[in-house]
Amino acid sequence: MSAASELERLLGLATRLAREAGAIQRASYEAVRTIDSKSQPNDLVAALAEERPHDSVLAEEGGGTEKPGATYRWVIDPLDGTTNYAHGYPRFAVSIGVEREGAQACGVVYDPLLDELYHAVRSGGAFRNGRRISVSREADLRRALVSTGFAYDKAITEDDNTREFRALLKNAREVRRDGSAALDLCYVAGGRFDAYWEFKLKPWDVAAGTLIVTEAGGRVTDTVGGGEFRSGASVLASNGALHAAMLAGLAAAKT
């Protein structure tokens, strides 16, 4: 089987698993009020173990297995936006990224309430519900709608993103904070947001969304000087035209 055919099979499986997990979330939405609730993460891992027994899996809720020498690794967040979901706030998603020999290969993010499925395959473009998407063309930060998020340790650390939030709030048209990194990235990819930044992220937060941004024509780097992005830690995603202005704004906030 060719590499392209294998990626199509992986994308199909990721899409099916994301929709199945999303259906569980949708069925119990608004009935859940437990902050720790997740939508059957073990089911995703078990399904992968059955269908892809030789692949590695990294999942937020644990249960994943690293397999030395595996060609593929699945990086999964079965419910990105846990707190939102627990409070009945309608911003959450399933995120599934697939890496081939350490490089991003394909990604799927599914919003079960809007029934929007984003996907991308390396060098194949980005799509929402099967239609190609692309980043915005906005080049003026003063007219830009940007988004961010805050880490879980914000109450106990000085490195809490509040200085950066204030700086961008003063310089952009508006800043949104919706609590789902995967959806924020997809909204940059589709042009709803012009840029997004966040600190202290985990690999499963961004494994699918960052590929979707780059395949939609955007740019993804770290937040310090625009260095090479590495899965997790800090991320700045933009339409490209605003990247320098976003980096400058984030840097100025620290002075």
- The 10s digit of each residue's pLDDT in 129-157 is 999 999 999 999 999 999 999 988 888 88
Q: Categorize the per-residue pLDDT at 34 as very low, low, confident or very high, splitting at 50, 70 and 90.
A: low
- Average pLDDT rounded to a whole number, residues 43-66: 83
Of 64-73, 101-110, 222-231, the poorest mean pLDDT is in 222-231
User: Is 120 in the same domain as 26?
Assistant: yes
* Domain count of the fold of the chain: 2
225 vs 187, higher pLDDT: 187
pTM listed for this prediction: 0.94
pLDDT of 1 higher than 80: no
User: Is 195 in the same domain as 167?
Assistant: yes
The mean pLDDT value of the chain amounts to 91
Q: Categorize the per-residue pLDDT at 35 as very low, low, confident or very high, splitting at 50, 70 and 90.
A: very low
Gap between the Cα atoms of 13 and 35, Å rounded: 29
Of 18-32, 211-225, 241-255, the poorest mean pLDDT is in 18-32
Cβ neighbours for 93, distance < 8 A, ≥ 6 positions apart: 22, 79, 80, 81, 109, 110, 111, 112, 180, 182, 183, 186
Where are the strands (E) in 34-84, listed by range? 56-59, 72-80
Which range marks the domain in which residue 164 is found? 141-253
Calculate the alpha carbon distances from 183 to 17, 101, 127 in Å.
17, 26, 13
Of 37-41, 43-47, 95-99, the poorest mean pLDDT is in 37-41
User: Is 149 in the same domain as 194?
Assistant: yes
If one counts every other C-beta atom within 10 angstroms of the C-beta of residue 2, the result is: 7
The enclosing domain of 90 has a CATH number of 3.30.540.10
169 vs 32, higher pLDDT: 169
User: Is 67 in the same domain as 149?
Assistant: no
The pLDDT score that the predictor gives to residue 156 is 83
Q: Categorize the per-residue pLDDT at 39 as very low, low, confident or very high, splitting at 50, 70 and 90.
A: very low
